Amino acid sequence: MSIDERPPHEAQDSARFVQDLQSDGPRREVIGRWFLKPVGKRPTLRKYLIDLWGRRHFIWADSRARAFSAGRGMILGNAWLILQPLLNGAIYFLIFGLLLQTSRGIDRFVGYLIIGVFLFQFTARSLMSGATAITGSRAMIRGFTFPRASLPIAVILREALNMLPVIGTMMLLIVLIPSPDAADMSPPHAEITWRWLLFPLVFALHTIFNAGVAFFAARIVAQIPDFRHLFQFVRRLWFYGSAVMFTFDRFVSNPTILTILSLNPVFLVLDMTRDLLLYGTTPNLRSWLALSAWATAAAALGFIFFWRAEERYGRE
């Protein structure tokens, strides 16, 4: 493009630059406005989304490469992905099911507990892995220019891939393991029905919600590293507040508090999954709408919250 074809302000800068170079007087350095672009400036949300889509192959390759890597260097390797929730479930069954008798009144308690422990692990790992998505990748952030949101997204994809064998094991266990407390008129374990086909929808909403959790955790810990330790307590409180191993109505009688507890998104995931896989019933429309609202709001707000600090990531 010639000088005359540039916008007026750029043409004037170019003419002044050339004139200064050709003059006999002292040389002055004049830099046109088109020569420099701000580095690290936060792009618009639209451009950010376009850039993020352009990195989709990197995100997928990174998440796939790091999937099933948690057990590297251990004798049992990736078997710990399944053994850890199994052992946790066994401990909770002994303490809460046998000693504290929280299993009373819960049909097919073994399957109830297995679903709770296995699926809560997905949210717990998403929270803790998302918290270190930025702080654990500072070298990459400082060395390359790319949308930082690709890091927590890759974390969620990695955790979703890690969940695939866990979910397969969970389904196998609830079908094969009988519940000793099952009623005489009900089957001792889960039966495979057409409602199992709806579970991938619940898992997809669960994944989208966890992405929002990872976005929030990533920015918070990037700015205040101490929150990484506080999230340990958040995870524990969330665990006991999601009816993983007992029902709310056994300990809470206030209807307002019960309503609030039942709107917990992780409880919704567990409750809907138990209906579909364990009890052979279809979750009501209210549960579908509530979980969809949680997933959409968490992902959208978490993404915007993360994007607004794009310029700060990687700085000391």
Three-state SS string across 155-212, please? HHHHHHHHHHHHHHHHHHHHHHCCCCCCCCCCCCCCCCCHHHHHHHHHHHHHHHHHHH
Is residue 73 scored above 70 in pLDDT? no
Cα(260)–Cα(267) distance, integer angstroms: 11
Q: Comparing 14-28, 67-81, 229-243, which segment has the lowest mean pLDDT? A: 14-28
Cα(29)–Cα(27) distance, integer angstroms: 7
Residue identified by tokens 């695939």 is 164
The identity of residue 40, as a single letter, is G
Cα(47)–Cα(153) distance, integer angstroms: 17
Which pLDDT does position 139 carry in this prediction? 78
Which pLDDT does position 303 carry in this prediction? 96
**C-alpha distances in Å from residue 217, one per residue of 88, 213, 237:** 25, 6, 16
Q: How confident is the model at residue 127 (pLDDT cuts 50, 70, 90)?
A: very high
Mean pLDDT of the chain, nearest integer = 80
Q: Angle 273-276-282 (CA atoms, 0-180°, nearest 5)?
A: 115
Query: In sequence order, what are the residues at sequence separation of 6 or more whose Cβ sits closer than 8 angstroms to the Cβ of residue 207?
Result: 122, 156, 160
What does the domain layout of the chain look like in residue ranges? 1-36, 43-312
Q: What are 213-234's pLDDT values in tens digits?
A: 999 999 999 999 989 999 999 9
Q: Angle 57-62-64 (CA atoms, 0-180°, nearest 5)?
A: 95
- Highest mean pLDDT pick, 55-69, 206-220, 223-237: 206-220
Query: In sequence order, what are the residues at sequence separation of 6 or more whose Cβ sits closer than 8 angstroms to the Cβ of residue 64?
Result: 157, 158, 161
Radius of gyration for the chain, computed over Cα atoms and rounded to the nearest angstrom: 26
- Highest mean pLDDT pick, 38-47, 58-67, 73-82, 194-203: 194-203
Answer for the pair 216, 305: CB distance below 8 angstroms, yes or no: yes
Answer for the pair 51, 43: CB distance below 8 angstroms, yes or no: yes
Q: What are 248-286's pLDDT values in tens digits?
A: 877 777 788 888 888 999 999 999 999 999 999 999 999
Which helix (H) or strand (E) segment is 92 a member of?
Answer: helix 80-92
Is residue 17 scored above 50 in pLDDT? no
What is this structure's pTM?
0.80
Check residue 251 and report its DSSP letter: T
Lookup: tokens for 251: 């300990």
Cα(110)–Cα(103) distance, integer angstroms: 9
Q: What are 134-189's pLDDT values in tens digits?
A: 888 887 888 778 889 999 999 999 999 988 888 988 898 888 877 665 544 455 67
